[in-house]
Structure 1
Amino acid sequence: MNDVYPDVSPVEQPSLRDRLSTRIIASALLALLLVLGMIGWTLWLSWQLEGAGAAINDTGSLRMRANRVAIELLQPGSMHAAEAQLQLQAQQDTLLRLESGVPSRPLFLPNVPAIREQMRKVEQIWLEQLQPAASSALAGADRSRYLQALPVFVAEADQLVQMIETDNAGKTTLLRLSQAVLLGLACVGTLATIYLLYLWIIAPILHLQDALRRMAAHEFGVRVPVETRDEFGALAQGFNHMADELEGLYRELEDRVQQKTAQLAEQNRELGALYDMAAFLNLPNDIDALCQGFLQRVMQQFNADGGSIRVIDPLGEKLHLVVSEGLSEALEETEHCMKVDACFCGEATQQGVVVIRDFRKLPQPEAFHCAKDGFKGLAVFRVVTQDEVLGSFSLHFRNSHEVPAAEAQLLETLGQHLGVALDNRRLSAKARQLAVAEERSLVAQGLHDSIAQGLNFLNLQLQMLDAAVQRNDLDEVRNILPLLRTGVDESYQDVRELLINFRSKLGQGELMAAVEDTLARFRRQTGIEVALQVDDPDGAPLPPEQQLQVLFILQEALSNVRKHAHASRVDVQIRNARDFELLVRDNGEGYEAGEVAERGERHIGLHIMQERAARLNAQLTLEGRPGEGASVQLILPSSERQAA
């Protein structure tokens, strides 16, 4: 805020003591401690009631077991004596639990002196009177002593139970009262929270909302009263400072809007120029048309009276003029070929030609001709791609012209776009040349492997025929003539195959039709039965380039079958799923795998198929056994499939 409007005084942040967050946290902690205290108190009372309830049950069991012991003592027999002994032990355990308590159950007597005194009296009567009397009775003594002391013990135990129940009743009443107090605290706390929230938060927000509404109605004189030192007080101070600034800036708002509008218009113009230039540079034009269109658009965009584009020669020593606009023949002749180290500087020449951008030094002859043609300003920019300088383009102005920094940056960017476009044209030309060279290499290999070898065979036979004629050996002549006829026929078939291969050209999705035509032609030429099996014909089609390579490999495999296999049947399988697979299998004579591996590149057609498979980044597998036929399998993985 202060960086944009330095006249606005900074708003002081409230101290920790005055912050609204401090009050809210303190109030919440106080309420939490109070509620936790009340809840803890009620939980303690509940625990006490639960422990006393268990004590009441165990105290009542004292009377029951004492009477049970009396019943067992009155009945003769060892079984009753054993039961009486068990009851005596259980009575002793109960007294111990009541005396020491069991917190885990919980079970304990209320911590009241009268109850504790009554418990000691009950325990004393049992230990001093009933337990010895019961032990004596079990030993065979008189049972009347136990029966006489029993009513006194039962009465004292009843008294203990009543005292515990009375204490529990008081605690129950206290628990209910505590719950009522807790309920009242919840209601009062809720009302207090609502009131404090309204007082601390809602009311200041309402004041700010009203002030904002009035500010939106262009009442820039509205101010918010600063009543506290908390965050809302700081917010009110900030609002007042903002209102002061808005009131001062409102008079200048129209000028600011016009300035921003002009800046946005300029930015839109630059973006439009970049978009238009990028769209033009992506058109399939040759380099001359590309440079001509670029120069015309730049001159129109920046109101230049002339311009030129030059490129650096391969040696990097001279700049050659490619296109120009608005320049005289003399100036074009002067600028047609210039040394790189003699161009462009940031100095003003004696003739008044201002070199605005880049490089080093404009020589006197060029400056003279610029001034002679009436140009007073010259702006030169590099045509670059990556870190390489491809050339330059210049703009000539008949009036003194100073290129602003924003326009200079835009022109540098346009130079980069032109450099990328030129570099792409050069790369495309190199790619086409490389493709032609590779295809020519394959053509040469095909000619060498088929026609050249056939002609060599015919030449050898002709020499033998000439020798036979000179010897007048008619039998040998008759033997050689069929061989010559066969060699000529095979050479003729090889030429036809090569011509068909060279003319093959596939469009989108035409592979299957081309495969069927190739197999039909193979049947007509050889009379060999051919079976075609296509799996998943609805798979994604290969692009035309990959389709053509697959077709060439199929044609070469069939040519090898025709020349060498002596087969009666050929099976062709095509599977177009995630991976594209082509399998050509014949039932011919087969071959020795070791012999084929030794011959390597000298094998007819094998090297051509391997190179085409390498172009596809596909796997080519050849298998064969003597007398069991041979197969050629091509697998194009899904990772190497191009988008159709």
Structure 2
Amino acid sequence: MASTVSLSIKLIRIGAGLLVIALASIGLTLWVTWQLEGGAAAVNEAGRMRMQTWRLNSSVAAQLPASDINALVAQFDQSLGLLRSGDPSRPLFVPWNDEVSRQFVMVEALWQNQRPLWLGEVPPDAARSLQAAGEFVDAIDGFVLVIEKQLSGYTAILNLFQFVMMALAIGSAVIMLYTGYLYVINPLAHLRRVLARVEAGEFGTRIDVDTQDEFGQVAAGFNRMASTLQSLYEGLEAKVQAKTQRIEAQRARLEALYEVSAFLAQSNTIEELSRGFSQRVRQVMKADAVAVRWSDEANQRYLMLASDCFPQEMQEEERSLLAGACACGNLQPDARTRVIPIHTHDAAPMRHCARAGYESLVSVPVRLQQRLIGEIDLFFRSDVQLNADETELLDALASHLASALEGLRAAALEREAAVGEERALLARELHDSIAQSLAFLKIQTGLLRSAVQKQQPDKVSSTLDELDAGLKESINDVRELLVHFRTRTNTDDIEAALQETLQKFQHQTGLPTRLQLEGQGLPLPADVQVQVLHVLQEALSNVRKHAGASHVSLDVHKAARWRFAVRDNGAGFDTAQQRSENHVGMKIMRERAERIGASVELVSSPGQGTTVTLTLPPYPVSGRGIGTLGLNLQELSETLPAP
């Protein structure tokens, strides 16, 4: 039977027992020593009485005064009283027993008989006093001998206790050594031997647990550890294989997710995206067929965007599916990825699936910002159970599909907005330049017809000259418009685009130009640069048309608020009475500046030239980027005649 007492309790019990024995031995030794010390003092006091007896006899023989004899008798009385009651402070006490008590009674009785003799008015003669003194001394000697006999017994007991205590010390040391070996050293040695066997690979080694103390608990814990190590060692290969398979499955899922994401990012059309997505999802999930359905805004009808390995006749029947008519397209707002057994549904479309051999349907809802926008249906010809990892993978693929389709839609809307904005921009440019020139040419054509009918050769010639000048002006406007749209920006620095713009202006007009930049500022975004260049080009166009200048400069100040200033040394004008053409140009510049939150300021006076200043906000942004219509502006410019 296993002991339930802990090692600490065992050691406490052994130590407490030895301590009690030691304390008892020490106490008994102290008591014996106390008795010996008190008995020795009693022997000394009794011996003193013998001396006092002879002094009393000598005093009587010498016929000393009665007071001296009374003092000696009083000393006798005091000594007997001290022997009777003892004196703990010295210590002094008689080791009483029957023999000692009897001898002390004899001494007291003899003293009581002799005491009147010593205190009588007539002192005893020498013979009588000598006889009385001898009798009393003999009685005292007998009393001392009895005490010494008792003390010799105590001394023997003390010697015996000393030998016993020596034996107890030796026994205690032996007991402690044996206890230490039995309860500590031997279990530790056994544990060390078993541990060495486990280190050698013998995981089946166990320790017999026969106690419930600390070493028993350690042994039980060691057995559990050895059992765990044995099970881990024996099942390590299987666990490694299972872990490897799980990691491989996770790697395959991540690879599939990455591949599908990369494909979705590269797709340019909905047809290409949905068809490629369905093929890849079918391969990843090892499905027999896949259908990708898209919902209308009201979630009342589901349109099949693409499918893979889906029967052709079923594609025709389920190309447009009413919501709730089948397990497919029957999603609730809180729907989750689920497995639907096909044989449990009686709807006609589900019977078609059953006839095609499908047994399980996996429905994966497609959400965009918590809104159901479609469904992915995977068809299997066997029972299917999805684990948590597969469900998570399908949800992630559906989320990527929704994001990709939304990205295509947003890109289409952006392209549409860019095309619309560029068309509006072209319309404004044509209206503000070429349309006005054409209207002027129409008027001149009417005048020319009238002059021909009236046969006015001079007027015909002047009108033809004006028509020729108007056509040249229109050609210049078209070329300038093409130059505007062919200007490229630099996302790092606008300086190159500004230099290119001034070079083209100088080439068209022959006027010398100067570009001066100063300060430091953050680079302007590309769309902001486009708007800035259009404003500057419009300002240069006004210089070409109206200023009559001989020099143009462009000053750029880079700072938190960029500032562009176009200066000419032309004729200038009164800003309070500016012409309609200039008014239209300023309106165009201000409209473009407002798109990026900038402001345009015009300073001019007759004969003093003109300065147009464009000031940007601290962080300019453009509401919309400038798109492209796909026009071949290079070919269009080459078809126009030179100015």
Is the CA contact (8 Å cut-off) linking 2:429 and 2:481 kept in structure 1? yes
| Post-superposition CA distance 1:235-255 (Å, at most 9, x none) | 979966963773575355555
Q: Relative to structure 1, is the Cα distance of residues 566 and 436 closer, same or farther in structure 2, using a 3 angstrom cutoff?
A: same
Is the CA contact (8 Å cut-off) linking 2:451 and 2:457 kept in structure 1? yes
Deviation at 1:520, TM superposition (A): 2.9
| Post-superposition CA distance 1:95-141 (Å, at most 9, x none) | xxxxxxxxxxxxxxxxxxxxxxxxxxxxxxxxxxxxxxxxxxxxxxx
Give me the whole-angstrom Cα distance separating, in 2, the residues matched to 1:346 and 1:462. 67
Q: Relative to structure 1, is the Cα distance of residues 306 and 412 closer, same or farther in structure 2, using a 3 angstrom cutoff?
A: same
| Post-superposition CA distance 1:183-238 (Å, at most 9, x none) | xxxxxxxxxxxxxxxxxxxxxxxxx9999999777676689x9x9x9xx99x9799
Give me the whole-angstrom Cα distance separating, in 2, the residues matched to 1:320 and 1:532. 60
Identity %: 37
Q: How does 1:56-135 map to 2 (within 5 A)?
A: none
1:561 aligns with 2:543: yes
SS of equivalent to 2:584: coil
Is the CA contact (8 Å cut-off) linking 2:338 and 2:364 kept in structure 1? no
Give me the whole-angstrom Cα distance separating, in 1, the residues matched to 2:206 and 2:457. 129
1:573 aligns with 2:552: no
Which residue of 1 is the match for residue 83 of structure 2? none
| Post-superposition CA distance 1:69-103 (Å, at most 9, x none) | xxxxxxxxxxxxxxxxxxxxxxxxxxxxxxxxxxx
Which residue of 1 is the match for residue 322 of structure 2? 339
Give me the whole-angstrom Cα distance separating, in 2, the residues matched to 1:585 and 1:385. 54
| Post-superposition CA distance 1:490-535 (Å, at most 9, x none) | 2221122122323444566695454434323322332322222244
**Could you tell me which of 526, 531, 548 is aligned with 2:509?**
526
The farther-off stretch of 448-457 and 424-433 is 448-457
1:552 aligns with 2:537: no
Q: How does 1:289-308 map to 2 (within 5 A)?
A: 289-308=272-291
| Post-superposition CA distance 1:279-329 (Å, at most 9, x none) | 222224322222222212211111112112122245643222222211222
Deviation at 1:559, TM superposition (A): 1.0
| Post-superposition CA distance 1:539-592 (Å, at most 9, x none) | 876565444433333322211211222222110134556665433222223345
Is the CA contact (8 Å cut-off) linking 2:293 and 2:375 kept in structure 1? yes
Deviation at 1:381, TM superposition (A): 1.5
Give me the whole-angstrom Cα distance separating, in 1, the residues matched to 2:553 and 2:497. 16
Which residue of 2 is the match for residue 60 of structure 1? none
Gaps of at least 5 residues in structure 2 are 1-190, 331-336, 623-643
1:610 aligns with 2:590: yes
1:622 aligns with 2:601: yes
Deviation at 1:422, TM superposition (A): 0.8
Q: Which has the larger radius of gyration?
A: 2
**Could you tell me which of 558, 566, 586 is aligned with 2:568?**
586
Which residue of 2 is the match for residue 279 of structure 1? 262
1:268 aligns with 2:251: yes
Q: Relative to structure 1, is the Cα distance of residues 623 and 214 closer, same or farther in structure 2, using a 3 angstrom cutoff?
A: farther
Give me the whole-angstrom Cα distance separating, in 1, the residues matched to 2:586 and 2:549. 18
Deviation at 1:262, TM superposition (A): 3.7
Counterpart AA for 1:557: A
Which residue of 2 is the match for residue 634 of structure 1? 614
Is the CA contact (8 Å cut-off) linking 2:295 and 2:374 kept in structure 1? yes
Q: Relative to structure 1, is the Cα distance of residues 621 and 400 closer, same or farther in structure 2, using a 3 angstrom cutoff?
A: same
Is the CA contact (8 Å cut-off) linking 1:379 and 1:394 kept in structure 2? yes
Q: How does 1:309-388 map to 2 (within 5 A)?
A: 309-313=292-296, 316-344=299-327, 356=339, 364-388=347-371
Deviation at 1:388, TM superposition (A): 2.5
Give me the whole-angstrom Cα distance separating, in 2, the residues matched to 1:323 and 1:472. 74
SS of equivalent to 1:292: helix
Gaps of at least 5 residues in structure 1 are 1-207, 348-353
Counterpart AA for 2:269: D
**Could you tell me which of 448, 453, 460 is aligned with 2:443?**
460
Is the CA contact (8 Å cut-off) linking 1:506 and 1:544 kept in structure 2? yes
Q: Relative to structure 1, is the Cα distance of residues 500 and 415 closer, same or farther in structure 2, using a 3 angstrom cutoff?
A: same
Q: Relative to structure 1, is the Cα distance of residues 455 and 272 closer, same or farther in structure 2, using a 3 angstrom cutoff?
A: same
| Post-superposition CA distance 1:342-363 (Å, at most 9, x none) | 343699xxxxxx982599x988
Give me the whole-angstrom Cα distance separating, in 2, the residues matched to 1:495 and 1:376. 68
SS of equivalent to 1:367: helix
What's the Cα RMSD here?
4.6
Counterpart AA for 1:526: T
Counterpart AA for 2:293: R
Is the CA contact (8 Å cut-off) linking 1:344 and 1:355 kept in structure 2? no
Which residue of 1 is the match for residue 419 of structure 2? 436
| Post-superposition CA distance 1:241-284 (Å, at most 9, x none) | 96377357535555554444443333333223222222222224
- Specify which structure has the bigger relative contact order, considering alpha-carbon pairs within 8 angstroms and separated by 6 or more residues: 2
Which residue of 2 is the match for residue 124 of structure 1? none
Q: Relative to structure 1, is the Cα distance of residues 259 and 524 closer, same or farther in structure 2, using a 3 angstrom cutoff?
A: closer
Q: Relative to structure 1, is the Cα distance of residues 595 and 239 closer, same or farther in structure 2, using a 3 angstrom cutoff?
A: farther
Which residue of 2 is the match for residue 103 of structure 1? none
Give me the whole-angstrom Cα distance separating, in 2, the residues matched to 1:558 and 1:570. 8
Give me the whole-angstrom Cα distance separating, in 1, the residues matched to 2:317 and 2:436. 59
Counterpart AA for 1:623: L
Is the CA contact (8 Å cut-off) linking 1:346 and 1:356 kept in structure 2? no
Give me the whole-angstrom Cα distance separating, in 2, the residues matched to 1:580 and 1:625. 22
Which residue of 2 is the match for residue 411 of structure 1? 394
Deviation at 1:438, TM superposition (A): 0.8
Counterpart AA for 2:434: I
Give me the whole-angstrom Cα distance separating, in 2, the residues matched to 1:266 and 1:572. 65
1:516 aligns with 2:499: yes
SS of equivalent to 2:516: strand
SS of equivalent to 2:353: helix
Q: Relative to structure 1, is the Cα distance of residues 268 and 520 closer, same or farther in structure 2, using a 3 angstrom cutoff?
A: closer
Q: Relative to structure 1, is the Cα distance of residues 495 and 218 closer, same or farther in structure 2, using a 3 angstrom cutoff?
A: same
Is the CA contact (8 Å cut-off) linking 2:501 and 2:537 kept in structure 1? yes
Deviation at 1:632, TM superposition (A): 2.9
SS of equivalent to 1:624: strand
Q: Relative to structure 1, is the Cα distance of residues 209 and 333 closer, same or farther in structure 2, using a 3 angstrom cutoff?
A: farther
Deviation at 1:416, TM superposition (A): 0.9
Give me the whole-angstrom Cα distance separating, in 2, the residues matched to 1:605 and 1:365. 69
Counterpart AA for 1:390: I
Q: Relative to structure 1, is the Cα distance of residues 374 and 310 closer, same or farther in structure 2, using a 3 angstrom cutoff?
A: same
Is the CA contact (8 Å cut-off) linking 2:322 and 2:329 kept in structure 1? no
SS of equivalent to 2:327: coil
Is the CA contact (8 Å cut-off) linking 2:328 and 2:377 kept in structure 1? no
Q: Relative to structure 1, is the Cα distance of residues 216 and 424 closer, same or farther in structure 2, using a 3 angstrom cutoff?
A: farther
SS of equivalent to 1:603: helix
